[in-house]
Amino acid sequence: MAFRGSFEFTLDAKNRLTIPVKFRGPFSDGVTLARMRDVSDCISIWCTPVFDAYVANLLESCHPLSEEREALARFYGANAHDGELDAAGRVIVPPRMLAQAGIERDVVVNGVTNRLEVWARDTWKAVNEELTAAVKEIRPALGNTA
């Protein structure tokens, strides 16, 4: 399933995040929350098997004895958290991850093809404006005038 769309939610007092109804099915095999190495202002939510394959692919692209491989293994091992959806379709987000991403209560959950991303609403607004400007610059280079 490709994750698409943008949804606004508010974390509850127990740091539970509601997953959009249309996305809950793929998370039945587990949920992995993770920081990404290139974006520190959000939390990524992955179906556990997809996250495991993503990390395995990254590690396989490195020499088995390289420092880069060890750094990636450490980063994703330490900055990921396994969870599960409760009966109401919520997942608990660890306080440490919220603090690292600068997230308090009001969030935006975005589909990003193979995962969801959780952003503080104010942060997302600024990032989305930058992305919109950047995409306008990319479009002519792709030959797409739509």
Q: Average pLDDT, whole number, for the chain?
A: 92
The arithmetic mean of pLDDT across residues 20-42, rounded, is: 91
pLDDT digits (tens, 9 = 90+) for 51-106: 999 999 999 999 989 999 999 999 999 999 999 999 999 999 999 999 999 999 99
**Residue with tokens 């990524």, as numbered in its chain:** 44
The pLDDT of residue 37: 82
Q: Helix 48-60 and helix 67-78: axis angle, to 10°?
A: 160
Which percentage of the chain shows pLDDT scores above 90? Answer: 82
Q: Per-residue confidence at 143, pLDDT binned at 50, 70, 90?
A: low
The pLDDT of residue 136: 83
**By the 8 A CB rule, do 26 and 89 touch?**
no
Closest CA to 6 of 20, 25, 17: 20
129 has pLDDT over 80? yes
**Residue with tokens 């987000």, as numbered in its chain:** 93
The pLDDT of residue 140: 63
Phi, psi of 72 (to 5 degrees): -65, -45
Ranges of each domain in the chain: 6-121
Distance between CA atoms of residues 6 and 43, nearest Å = 14
What CATH number does domain 6-121 carry, 3.20.20.220, 3.40.1550.20, 3.40.50.1820, 2.120.10.80?
3.40.1550.20
36 strand-pairing partners: 39
144 has pLDDT over 60? no
The pLDDT of residue 145: 55
146 has pLDDT over 60? no
The arithmetic mean of pLDDT across residues 128-140, rounded, is: 83
